[in-house]
């Protein structure tokens, strides 16, 4: 048995950590797997699905949206294809190309009376990352820290368009909502930290962190859905889409029994109101979600199977840059809303080539 077979699953769990809903967080970190693996190639295929439909303003759920059937419903299917090259015990690189299929139904985006759908499909933003275990795994097998640095390329279409229903036999073409765009239109720099420590023979603890730095402020994609932006949207810069930073962190415990590994932990992921570098204007739905994350992993000689079911514990749609500015101008407390999911389903397999 290798040390920390359970830890290999983390590659899958964090390579595609998206927030569950209208807070548009797409595939994030590519963590390398088992520290005891030798040089070689690996292929990872992972799929995740969620349905977001519960609206929140700050951390208050807007129950009336479901009661009145005017809530927005997003469906997300994401397939991440990753190729990993291990150079030795400490160094590795990964390239991840997501294939995304989104759909969104609503009233307000169409004629306001009937529920209609917009959708998107295609390649998302490709990411290339390099990783290094900071402690020699041969000398210190009971704990380690891995750091990663990567670049996210704007390969996904950030101006994907579909038809919006305006009435009988009347449609207009326009950019779909930010939450179902295939990319954000900006080049980003990713920073990652992955660590573990063995507590007893079969018990270990883990901690992962990820931050995507997006210097570009806006991508120019219209939020008018085929129409013309009004004066308020132009004044507060919500007439075009923002290019936001993203973050994710996980912490938990793992138990290993033969070829099976079981993990339980907490994870937080979100989109901040303000970016670390560059401006924060443009339309965005900042917020975060805290989830309980049970995971099951089966490790064979040539492959690793995994299943994860993050379940939402706390959801919060925070103030955006435009919310803050509007609140100050009107001497009021304005916060937009966002739809979140109750859970997401993640299934993946990693092959040793």
Distance between CA 25 and CA 239 in Å, rounded?
A: 20
| pLDDT score recorded for residue 34 | 54
Return all residues near 301 (Cβ < 8 A) that are at least 6 apart: 352
Among the listed residues 181, 196, 179, the one whose alpha carbon sits nearest the alpha carbon of residue 32: 196
Give 340's contacts (C-beta < 8 A, 6+ positions apart): 19, 20, 21, 22, 23, 52, 54, 55, 56, 287, 289, 312, 315, 317
Domains annotated for the chain, with CATH where assigned, are 5-352 (2.40.160.40)
User: Cβ distance 44 to 80 under 8 Å?
Assistant: yes
Q: Tell me the C-alpha distance between 69 and 185, whole Å.
A: 33
Count of Cβ atoms closer than 10 Å to residue 1 Cβ:
9
- DSSP for 37-60 reads --SEEEEEEEEEEEEEEEEEEBTE
Below-70 pLDDT ranges, the chain: 1-37
Please compute Rg for the chain using Cα positions.
21
DSSP H helices, 57-215, are: 63-67
Strands (E) in the chain, as ranges, are 40-57, 60-61, 73-86, 91-106, 116-123, 127-133, 143-152, 161-167, 170-175, 188-198, 203-213, 218-222, 240-242, 246-257, 260-271, 287-299, 303-308, 311-317, 338-352
Q: Write down the pLDDT at residue 7.
A: 43
Find out whether 29 and 315 touch, Cβ atoms under 8 Å: no
- pLDDT for 32: 43
CA dist 71 and 57 (Å) reads: 13
What is the four-CA torsion angle of 202, 11, 316, 149, rounded to 10 degrees? 120
Pair 227, 165: CB distance under 8 Å: no
Instruction: Give the model's pLDDT for residue 318.
Output: 97
**Cα 60 to Cα 49: distance, rounded to the nearest angstrom:** 24
pLDDT digits (tens, 9 = 90+) for 284-330: 999 999 999 999 999 998 999 999 999 999 999 999 999 999 999 99
- Residue 185 Rama label (left phi>0; alpha psi -120 to 50; beta): left
- What residues contact 244, with CB distance under 8 A and at least 6 apart? 24, 184, 214, 271, 272, 275, 280, 284, 286
Is the Cα torsion angle 225, 55, 22, 322 positive or negative in sign?
positive
pLDDT for res 283: 98
């Amino acid at each position: 048995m290798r040390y920390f077979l359970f830890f290999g699953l983390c590659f899958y769990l964090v390579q595609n950590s998206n927030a569950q809903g209208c807070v548009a967080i797409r595939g994030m970190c590519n963590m390398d797997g088992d520290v005891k693996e030798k040089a070689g190639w690996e292929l990872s295929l992972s799929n995740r699905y969620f349905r977001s439909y519960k609206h929140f303003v700050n951390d208050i759920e807007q129950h009336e949206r479901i009661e009145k059937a005017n809530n927005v419903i997003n469906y997300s299917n994401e397939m991440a294809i990753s190729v990993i090259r291990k150079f030795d015990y400490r160094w590795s690189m990964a390239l991840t190309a997501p294939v995304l299929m989104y759909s969104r139904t609503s009233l307000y985006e169409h004629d306001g009376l009937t529920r209609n759908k917009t959708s998107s499909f295609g390649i998302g933003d490709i990411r290339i990352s390099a990783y290094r275990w900071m402690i020699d795994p041969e000398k210190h097998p009971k704990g380690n820290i891995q750091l990663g640095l990567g670049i996210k390329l704007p390969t996904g279409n950030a101006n994907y368009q579909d038809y919006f229903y305006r009435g009988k036999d009347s449609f207009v073409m326009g950019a779909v909502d930010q939450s179902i765009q295939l990319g954000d239109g900006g080049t980003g720099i990713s920073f990652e930290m992955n660590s573990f420590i063995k507590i007893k023979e079969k018990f270990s603890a883990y901690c992962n962190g990820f931050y995507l730095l997006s210097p570009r402020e806006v991508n120019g994609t219209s939020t008018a859905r085929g129409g013309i932006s009004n004066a308020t949207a132009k004044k507060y810069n919500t007439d075009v889409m923002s290019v936001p930073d993203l973050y994710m962190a996980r912490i938990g415990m793992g138990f290993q029994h033969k070829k099976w590994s079981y993990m339980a932990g907490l994870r937080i992921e979100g989109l901040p109101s303000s970016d670390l570098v560059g401006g924060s204007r443009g339309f965005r739905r900042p917020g975060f979600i805290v989830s309980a994350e049970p995971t099951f992993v089966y490790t064979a000689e040539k492959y690793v199977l995994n299943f994860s079911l993050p379940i939402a514990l706390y959801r919060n749609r925070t103030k955006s840059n435009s919310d803050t500015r509007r609140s100050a101008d009107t001497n009021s407390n304005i916060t937009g809303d966002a739809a979140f999911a109750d859970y997401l389903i993640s299934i993946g397999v990693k092959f040793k080539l």
